[in-house]
Chains A and B, each alone.
Chain A
Amino acid sequence: MSLLDVRGLNKSYQTDAKVLKDIHFTAETGEFLSIIGPSGAGKSTLLRCLNRLVEADDGEVIFDGQDLRQLKKKQLREARTNIGMVFQHYNLVPRLTVIENVLHGRFGYKSTFQGVLARFSEEEKERAFYLLEKLGIEAHAYKRCDQLSGGQQQRVGICRALIQDPKLILCDEPIASLDPHSSKIIMDYLKSISEEMGITCIVNLHQVEVAQSYSDRIIGLNDGSIVFDGSNLQLDQIYLKRVYGMSTRELITV
């Protein structure tokens, strides 16, 4: 059975226009899956419907054997601890230290009271340091996040997701605000996370070349519908035209 099985997902905001139309796809354990498509195609909404930051109108999101859309508040919290998320703008608390931001990933495992008092065990803190070291930013552990560069902040964001011990990490445009050098570092880390730790990564990207060089599989989204679902080798000019409505050559020049 797949780790994630999305069936018939629909979503529309107040206006009549549908953002997502009958989305079906699956993701396997340890798979690196990219979602590509023009801006406004619904990539971000799709990702947020998976962990219910946005509520879909209907459909099923079966993750690890249970339909997330049926879960009550407390069960949803529990399920979310297994799904990490990485954001385009990192979404850290800028005034807090790096180590504090990383430990925020443990709140899902704690009672409200423990969380509010910031009771973290020594194992958790050591784990946080281990992850920071793995991502090469342990030297900044006691710095405030707003003193870090974009690439470093994104690595903090990844640490926060990893400390959850997730089975799945959702990445919403993780490199859209970064320079090419930092982008490569972040993508390399994400790739190694899926390969070495066996964590499934679903990554929204708008750069086709990046998606092609890192992904096991690519999903192409256009106007709320999946127009391509296959390996990166199958993604040729014909499909790209279906995803973007034009060829890559034009894409680059635009």
Chain B
Amino acid sequence: MDSVYVKRNKAGRINIKAGNKVNSVINTTVISLTLLTVIAFLLFDYTGLDIGRAVVETASNLKTMFLQPAFSHFTWREGLYQLGVTISLAVLATILGAIIAFFLALWSAVNLSNRWVSKAIKIFVAFIRAVPTVLWVLIFAIAAGLGSEAAILGMLFHSVAYLVKAFSEAFEEVDKGMLEALKSTGAGWWQTVTHAVIPSTSTYLLSWTFLRFEINFSVAVAMGAAAGAGGIGFELFMASGFYFDLREVGFITYAILLVAIVLEMMSTKLKQRYFPSAVK
């Protein structure tokens, strides 16, 4: 009676799921993440925590911060200067990172380079990416002393790792035919790069670099707070950790938020213009 194509389960009911590998992997992932989360909450260290009090207090802190922002430990000029320092840290790490990443990406793009060189660079980059930026900064700080040099070098490392991945993917998408055409005319490797690869990818490279700049700004804030890199992040750390001045914390947070939102709007514009689909 039944068509041969109907699949039934043990209870004789008709299946509607295909029961393939994709579904089972999705289910396994969701279930394991849920379980791990439950275990996490059981394992957490709740020392000295009174949730009710903490939530009420945080709410009132947030109210003071965001509704009555003010500054008392620095002047307008100093505040702006410190914000400038943070932006400058991000600028330097991004620009130097982009330059280094550009060359490394050329050597790691499979269509422009040797397979082994490409593999080696990719592994090296994966290793650098796996170490948190703050650890790079602190490790450099031992050799160079705490300050802008260690911070910029540490941030540079991560920027390079991030941009090499993005750039080399852009390079790998360059039309194969174009490269072959140039090669057939006897163009050398550098000529191919300057006349085919760069012109056809420059907008991507710029967008990615700007995207990294946006990330580097918040990293620079973090390095100021956690690794003594100075700038607005350090002021934030002082205001909350030493002076306990909530209104100043609020003021600084607003300043950071403002810069971050302006940067995000700019990069969204760039993204919409140059590559609407890719985000990662």
Contacts and interface: CB of A to CB of B under 8 A. Distances in A.
Contacts of A100: 16-17
Interface in A137-160: 138-139, 141-144
Contacts of A129: 3, 5-6, 14
B221 to A, nearest CB: 40
B18 A125 contact: no
Nearest to A124: B14
Contacts of B13: 122, 125
A133 B3 contact: yes
Q: When A and B form their complex, which 8 residue pairs have the shortest distance between CB atoms, in order from nearest?
A: A125-B14, A142-B18, A138-B5, A97-B18, A99-B16, A100-B16, A141-B5, A129-B6
B115 interface: no
Nearest to A137: B5
Q: What is the interface of chain A mostly: helix, strand, loop, or mixed? A: helix
A118 B16 contact: yes
Interface in B71-92: none
A120 interface: yes
Interface string B3-39: 1011100000111111100000000000000000000
Contacts of A141: 5-6
Given A97-B17, A97-B18, A129-B6, 12 more contacts: A97-B16, A99-B16, A103-B16, A125-B16, A129-B14, A133-B3, A138-B3, A138-B5, A141-B5, A141-B6, A142-B5, A142-B18
A125 to B, nearest CB: 4
Interface of B: 3, 5-7, 13-19
A118 B17 CA distance: 11
A126 interface: yes
Range of interface residues on chain A?
10 to 19
5 contacts: A122-B13, A125-B13, A125-B16, A142-B5, A144-B18
B16 to A, nearest CB: 5
A100 to B, nearest CB: 5
Contacts of A143: 18
A126 B15 CA distance: 11
B7 A142 contact: yes
Contacts of B7: 142
A139 B3 CA distance: 9
B14 to A, nearest CB: 4
Nearest to A142: B18
Contacts of A133: 3
Interface string A146-177: 00000000000000000000000000000000
A103 B17 CA distance: 12
A139 B16 contact: no
Nearest to B19: A142
A118 B16 CA distance: 10
Nearest to A102: B16
Nearest to B5: A138
A181 B6 CA distance: 28
Nearest to B17: A97
Contacts of B18: 97, 142-144
A100 B15 CA distance: 10
A126 B3 CA distance: 10
A234 B22 CA distance: 55
Which of B6, B7, B16, B19 has most A Cβ within 10 Å?
Answer: B16
B14 A139 contact: no
Contacts of B19: 142
Contacts of B16: 97, 99-100, 103, 118, 120, 125
Interface string A99-125: 110010000000000000010101001
Nearest to A95: B22
A97 B16 CA distance: 8
A142 B4 CA distance: 12
Nearest to A125: B14
Contacts of B3: 129, 133, 138
A75 B114 CA distance: 67
Contacts of A103: 16
Contacts of A118: 16
Contacts of A122: 13-14
Point out which of A129, A142, A143, A144 has the most chain B C-beta atoms below 10 A from its C-beta: A142
